[in-house]
Amino acid sequence: MNDHATPVLLLNPPRTTTAELLAQAAAWRGHDVVAHARQAEGRETYWYGGPLAADALSGRLGLGLLEPADDWLTTVPQDLLRRSVRLTTLAGARSLGRPAFVKPPSEKIDLLPAAVYEDASALPAALDDGTPVLVSEVVEFAAEYRLFVRDGEVAAGSRYAVHGRPDPAPLDPRAEAFAREVLKATADGLPSAVCVDIGRLGDGGWAIVEANMAWFAHCYAAEPDRVLDVVLRAAGPLPRVSDRDRPFVRAPRTRPNERAAR
């Protein structure tokens, strides 16, 4: 029988490689690692998994899931962004007459992969016009890095791609230096536990890529135990969320409507 005083890390199946690494780190700390919500009910519960399942379970389990605001990327200093970005709707993206990088603001939508769309005809017709999207000027990142951030500091990090292809490796000093610059300028607008991606451009300059929820981010080559520190802060019991983080607590989402034609 499980001890109800023991904290729980709930990992919704199927498990990813990152989930397995976090499970090992959590078990080493003495957490019970479980796969079903019924095993977590009435207990101090933490979450790692997708947003759809999180929306279904967060109220039932009393979770406070932290995430950046949908429009955060549009608010950062231009010298750290190095491109134009705006939050609009799929209808707005369809009105563009030029190639653009289009993505959902804070989570994946199967029918709308984050990608460069050459024109409006390439955007999925099966999604409702009101679906929120971020539309960005097209830039090429030579290398991309993931930062797991806690209290405005990089707790763990990793390179994850080179020229758009997966290539995990430890953070290098240049990435760490730019990360410090980014967090000094932007941490006040982010939850205390979050995932921030940065990248080196083809011209050698650096830019912010995006920010996402830490509780649904791959760790790549980052140290799993340090990643777990961020995940536990970002996806734990709602009563433990600080006043500062309350504005960043995720409200369960209404899923974008898919049109009848499939």
Other beta carbons within 10 angstroms of residue 234's beta carbon come to 31
Q: Are residues 149 and 224 in the same domain?
A: yes
- 132, part of any domain: yes
Q: Are residues 130 and 164 in the same domain?
A: no
Q: Are residues 149 and 207 in the same domain?
A: yes
- 114, part of any domain: yes
Q: Are residues 212 and 129 in the same domain?
A: no
- 206, part of any domain: yes
Q: Are residues 150 and 104 in the same domain?
A: no
Taking the C-alpha atoms of residue 111 and residue 191, their distance in angstroms, rounded to an integer, is 28
- 122, part of any domain: yes
| Greatest extent of the chain over all pairs of C-alpha atoms, in Å | 61
Last residue of a domain, one of 82, 110, 136: 136
As given in the structure block, the two tokens for residue 231 are 């995940």
Q: Are residues 155 and 202 in the same domain?
A: yes
CATH number at residue 176: 3.30.470.20
Q: Are residues 229 and 185 in the same domain?
A: yes
Q: Are residues 131 and 209 in the same domain?
A: no
What is the domain extent for residue 201? 140-234
Q: What is the pLDDT along the chain (262 residues), one digit of tens a residue?
A: 456 789 999 998 888 999 999 999 999 999 999 999 999 999 999 999 999 899 999 999 999 999 999 999 999 999 999 999 999 999 999 888 888 999 988 766 777 888 899 887 888 888 888 988 999 999 999 999 999 999 999 999 999 999 999 999 999 999 999 999 999 999 999 999 999 999 999 999 999 999 999 999 999 999 999 999 999 999 999 999 999 999 999 987 655 443 332 2
- 228, part of any domain: yes
- Nearest alpha-carbon partner for 256 in 161, 124, 156: 124
- 239, part of any domain: no
Q: Are residues 131 and 173 in the same domain?
A: no
Taking the C-alpha atoms of residue 200 and residue 39, their distance in angstroms, rounded to an integer, is 43
pTM of the model: 0.90
Residues 6 or more apart whose Cβ sits within 8 Å of residue 66: 191, 192, 193, 194, 213, 214, 215, 233, 234, 235, 241, 245, 248, 249, 250
- 249, part of any domain: no
Q: Which residue is associated with the tokens 């605001």? A: 69
Q: Are residues 230 and 149 in the same domain?
A: yes
Q: Are residues 146 and 226 in the same domain?
A: yes
- Number of domains, the chain: 2
Q: Are residues 187 and 216 in the same domain?
A: yes
pLDDT in tens, 86-112: 999 999 998 888 889 999 887 667 778
- 72, part of any domain: no
